[in-house]
């Protein structure tokens, strides 16, 4: 039946696309905003939890355990559970989106800082760095490539998940996918899917460029 | 004894979970401007002792004085800014350039940026690096170059004290030898009080004004100038640790100019066979050296003089190894065993100064 309805319809109806550029732009902006908030909030929470885990080692296992469970809850189910509590709101969408960033970000922040050469830390302490300075001026900058790698994975994951949040009316480009499915209109599905892929690729590349610009030392190799 | 730059008073360190202390009731003094080398087998607490001086490791009991200040009662990070610290793995900051690495402590101390730049240039020159390395990252340098940066960084704020924890342990033997020589010539210019940890007794003997030999558990077996320790080991442990070539090691510490040279069986060209025989007999050898006006032309066997009738001026055997007075007795001994004449000829430029024989060297260390 679906096939019958799709028959004779082009995969992309360009007239529709050009007629809805404003809507596409608005949905893309919303998608970016939802992703940005999720990453921003996720990063702040992850940094706080990572610092706790680094300071008090015993907390690391429970932290990864809880964020690991959050990570494995199917997104559809999580949004459905939250709607009765927080309604069809941005808050509901963000609680879900932020939850999924935590495990990835915390693991990368802790692994990045743990991966800093102990000799470098010892030299810093031996020359009179305070603990705080070691963290801010030595450990974080050196962990930066690993942390950015985590942010890249988290951002790509989040951009994909935002489309699911369309179910609660806050889905950015996911709106087109949902709408297209309901109306058997492939153009909308394609616009939603292609644009979110484009968004993911662009954001990922941007983060990579930022990392390269900020860590010129990471590519320095012996020229001898 | 009050001019000691570093003083350890009854210092002990026990690590939790370990039945025996790492360092037990250790007292020692490091005089200003000297290199003291802590040496001993693994588990002797030499690194623990070093790290207690800048409180990377906190002593369990006892007091440590650095430059007249009680280190154990000073805020650790402030204490450390006055103590240069060099470690084996260099610990250079990979994300900072060579210049920024060297500038670390001056920046912590809040120096004026222009003054820091001048100081960095001065240090790059002092440790023998090229100026164009300043803007490179540590990963772009060889191991030996990185270790030089480590030393420059430790000297940056001109601290009176330098702690060096097996700094040359990770570089290959050729580079290590060069870095050791450089450290001594650097020390001749900067005159720091240096505590140097190594497990290599040869390195200790070469670098130390004093050597402290530690036994397992941080027990100080003997401390003193390397010549004294080699001449009179205080215990069986020390003697064993110094090794069976203790006598040879002593030779490496004595420069040729510290001993009297012998003129040797040297005659002038044209000397008669009879006089040549007399000269050779006096030295109990079967050859004579030929020289005149302060030069040494070479040598030949008495049998060769016999066939000629007189001592010739040409077609002589050369003295291959020409030693200078700054060479050591060990090098002289090497020259002796490497030539058929069994002597080491010593020169100052072209001027012949005299000879050393194995017997003469043996007398020197057994006197």
Of B335, B259, B322, B334, the closest CA to residue B291 belongs to B322
pLDDT at res. A1: 46
Question: Which positions of chain B have pLDDT values less than 70?
Answer: 1-2, 367
Of A153, A50, A175, the closest CA to residue A100 belongs to A153
Backbone angles phi, psi at B69, to 5 degrees: -115, 140
Instruction: Name the residue among B108, B140, B153 with its Cβ closest to that of A221.
Output: B140
CA B340 from chain center: how many Å? 31
CB contact under 8 A, A128 and B77: yes
How high is the ipTM of this complex? 0.85
- Looking up residue A116, the CATH number of its domain turns out to be 1.10.3720.10
Instruction: Collect all residues of chain B within an 8 Å Cβ-Cβ radius of residue A138.
Output: 93
Residues 6+ apart with CB under 8 A from A178: A166, A167, A171, A192
Q: What's the full length of chain A, in residues?
A: 224
Instruction: Collect all residues of chain A within an 8 Å Cβ-Cβ radius of residue B71.
Output: none
Please report the DSSP string for B271-306 in residue order: -BHHHHHHHHHHHT-SEEEEEETTEEEEEEEHHHHH
Instruction: Collect all residues of chain A within an 8 Å Cβ-Cβ radius of residue B89.
Output: 117, 119
Instruction: Collect all residues of chain A within an 8 Å Cβ-Cβ radius of residue B78.
Output: 128
Cβ atoms of B40 and B215 closer than 8 Å:
yes
CA distance B139 to chain A (A): 5
Cβ atoms of B149 and B179 closer than 8 Å:
no
CB contact under 8 A, A117 and B137: no
> In this structure, is residue A223 part of a structural domain?
no
Cβ atoms of A139 and B110 closer than 8 Å:
no
> In this structure, is residue A164 part of a structural domain?
yes
Backbone angles phi, psi at A109, to 5 degrees: -65, -45
> In this structure, is residue A48 part of a structural domain?
yes
What is the spatial order of strands in the sheet that B343-348 belongs to?
B322-323, B343-348, B351-357
Nearest CA in chain A to B140: A222
Instruction: Collect all residues of chain B within an 8 Å Cβ-Cβ radius of residue A129.
Output: 77, 108
According to DSSP, the β-strands at B295-301 and B322-323 are unpaired
State the residue range of the domain holding A130: 2-213
What domains, with CATH codes, occur in chain B? 4-255 (3.40.50.300), 257-366 (3.10.580.10)
pLDDT at res. A5: 57
CA distance A217 to chain B (A): 5
Q: How many domains does chain A have?
A: 1
pLDDT at res. A224: 42
> In this structure, is residue A101 part of a structural domain?
yes
pLDDT in tens, B6-52: 999 999 999 998 888 999 999 999 999 999 999 999 989 999 999 99
Residue B134 near chain A (CB below 8 Å): no
Token representation of residue B48: 């623990």
* Residue A141, helix vs strand vs coil: helix
Token representation of residue A18: 């050009």
Cβ atoms of B126 and B149 closer than 8 Å:
no
Instruction: Name the residue among A119, A130, A217 with its Cβ closest to that of B91.
Output: A119
> In this structure, is residue A12 part of a structural domain?
yes
Nearest CA in chain A to B155: A127
> In this structure, is residue A73 part of a structural domain?
yes
Instruction: Collect all residues of chain B within an 8 Å Cβ-Cβ radius of residue A213.
Output: none
Residue B14, Ramachandran bin (φ over 0: left; ψ between -120 and 50: alpha; else beta): beta
Please report the DSSP string for B318-350 in residue order: P---EE-TTSBHHHHHHHHHHSTT-EEEEEETT
CA distance A46 to chain B (A): 24
- Could you list the pLDDT tens digit for every one of the 224 residues in chain A? 455 555 667 888 888 989 999 999 999 999 999 999 999 999 999 999 999 999 999 999 999 999 999 999 988 888 888 989 988 889 999 999 999 999 999 999 999 999 999 999 999 999 999 999 999 999 999 999 999 999 999 999 999 999 998 888 888 999 999 999 998 889 999 999 999 999 999 999 999 999 999 999 988 764 44
pLDDT at res. A3: 55
């Amino acid at each position: 039946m679906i096939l019958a309805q799709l028959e004779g319809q082009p995969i992309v109806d360009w007239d529709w696309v050009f007629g809805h550029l404003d809507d596409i732009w608005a949905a893309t902006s919303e998608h970016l905003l939802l992703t940005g908030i999720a990453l921003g909030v996720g990063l702040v929470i992850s940094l706080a939890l990572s610092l706790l885990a680094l300071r008090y080692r015993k907390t690391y296992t429970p932290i990864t355990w809880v964020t690991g469970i959050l990570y494995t809850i199917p997104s559809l189910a999580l949004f459905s559970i939250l709607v009765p509590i927080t309604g069809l709101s941005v808050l509901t969408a963000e609680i879900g989106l932020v939850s999924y960033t935590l495990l990835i970000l915390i693991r990368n922040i802790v692994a990045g800082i743990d991966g800093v050469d102990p000799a470098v830390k010892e030299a810093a302490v031996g020359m009179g760095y305070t603990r705080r300075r070691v963290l801010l001026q030595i450990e974080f900058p050196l962990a930066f490539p690993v942390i950015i790698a985590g942010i890249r994975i988290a951002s790509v994951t989040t951009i994909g998940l935002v489309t699911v949040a369309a179910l609660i009316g806050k889905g950015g480009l996911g709106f087109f996918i949902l709408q297209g499915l309901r109306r058997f209109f492939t153009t909308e599905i394609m616009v939603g899917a292609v644009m979110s892929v484009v968004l993911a690729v662009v954001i990922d590349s941007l983060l990579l460029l930022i990392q390269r610009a900020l860590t010129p030392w990471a590519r320095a190799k012996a020229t001898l | 004894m009050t001019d000691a730059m570093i003083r350890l008073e009854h210092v002990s360190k026990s690590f939790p979970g370990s039945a025996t202390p790492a360092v037990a009731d250790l007292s020692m003094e490091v005089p200003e401007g000297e290199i003291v080398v802590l040496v001993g087998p693994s588990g002797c607490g030499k690194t623990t002792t070093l790290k207690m001086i800048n409180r990377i490791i906190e002593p369990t009991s006892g007091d440590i004085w650095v430059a007249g200040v009680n280190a154990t009662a000073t805020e650790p990070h402030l204490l450390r800014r006055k103590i240069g610290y060099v470690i084996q793995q260099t610990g250079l900051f990979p994300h900072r350039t060579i210049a920024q690495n060297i500038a670390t402590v001056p920046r912590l101390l809040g120096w004026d940026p222009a003054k820091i730049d001048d100081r960095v240039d001065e240090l790059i020159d002092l440790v023998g690096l090229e100026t164009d390395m300043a803007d490179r990252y540590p990963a772009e340098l060889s191991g030996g170059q990185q270790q030089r940066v480590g030393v420059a960084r430790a000297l940056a704020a001109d601290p009176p004290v330098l702690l060096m924890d097996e700094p040359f342990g990770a570089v290959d033997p050729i580079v290590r030898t060069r870095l050791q020589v450089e450290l001594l010539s650097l020390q001749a210019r900067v005159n720091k009080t240096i505590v140097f940890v190594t497990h290599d007794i040869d390195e200790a003997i070469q670098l130390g004004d004093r050597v402290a030999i530690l036994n397992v558990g941080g027990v100080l077996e003997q401390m003193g100038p390397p010549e004294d320790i080699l001449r009179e080991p205080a215990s069986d442990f020390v003697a064993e640790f110094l090794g069976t070539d203790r006598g040879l090691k002593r030779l490496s510490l004595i420069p040729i100019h510290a001993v009297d040279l012998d003129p040797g069986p040297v005659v002038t060209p044209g000397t008669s066979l009879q006089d040549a025989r007399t000269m050779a007999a006096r030295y109990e050898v079967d050859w004579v050296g030929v020289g005149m006006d302060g030069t040494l032309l070479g040598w030949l066997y008495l049998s060769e003089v016999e066939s000629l009738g007189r001592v010739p001026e040409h077609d002589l055997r050369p003295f291959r190894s020409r030693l200078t007075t700054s060479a050591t007795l060990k090098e002289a001994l090497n020259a002796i065993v490497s030539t058929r004449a069994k002597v080491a000829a010593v020169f100052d430029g072209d001027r012949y100064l005299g000879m050393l024989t194995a017997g003469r060297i043996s007398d020197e260390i057994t006197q």
